[in-house]
């Protein structure tokens, strides 16, 4: 009881620390924002949060996911890059 079923974070609410905190509260998470893939250092790939802060893949792998069951991350890059097959895939379960 009292737990919100969803949240829409935008503007200042979409700052890195606030997004990380929200990830701990919800069963389903969908993030859609600009991002950048780092092919050489995949864990440095990031989503761009409010104010240009970076939410990296390393941040997400270190996050304590309380009850999150499903995560959808959509990152749109400004630059077109050559598409390559990833060496590793990370599933958050």
For residues 75 and 79, what is the distance between their CA atoms, to the nearest angstrom? 12
Q: Is the pTM of this model over 0.75?
A: no
Strands 28-36 and 70-76, bridge-based pairing: parallel
Tens-place pLDDT, residues 9-67: 889 999 999 888 888 887 777 888 888 888 899 899 999 999 999 999 899 888 776 66
- For residue 81, being part of any structural domain is answered with no
Domain range for 60 is 11-76
Report if residue 82 sits inside a domain: no
The answer to whether residue 2 is domain-embedded is: no
Please report whether residue 59 resides in a domain: yes
Residue 67: the pLDDT is: 67
13 phi and psi angles, rounded to 5 deg: -65, -20
> What are 59-87's pLDDT values in tens digits?
988 877 666 666 667 766 655 555 555 55
Asked, for residue 84, whether it belongs to a domain, the answer is no
C-alpha distances in angstroms, 55 versus 66, 69, 82, 85, 87?
18, 20, 23, 22, 21
For residue 53, tell me if it sits in a domain: yes
Residue 16 domain-assigned? yes
Q: Is residue 31 part of a domain?
A: yes
**Number of folded domains that form the chain:** 1
Q: How many CA atoms within 13 Å lie on the side-chain side of 76? A: 5
């Amino acid at each position: 009881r009292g737990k919100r079923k969803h949240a829409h974070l935008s503007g200042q609410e979409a700052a890195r620390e606030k997004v990380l905190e929200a990830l701990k509260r919800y069963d389903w998470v969908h993030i859609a924002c600009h991002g950048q893939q780092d092919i050489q250092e995949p864990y440095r790939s990031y989503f761009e949060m409010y104010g240009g802060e970076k939410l990296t893949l390393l941040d997400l792998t270190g996050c304590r996911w309380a009850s999150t069951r499903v995560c959808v991350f959509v990152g749109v890059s400004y630059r077109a890059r050559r598409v390559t097959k990833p060496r590793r895939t990370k599933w958050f379960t």
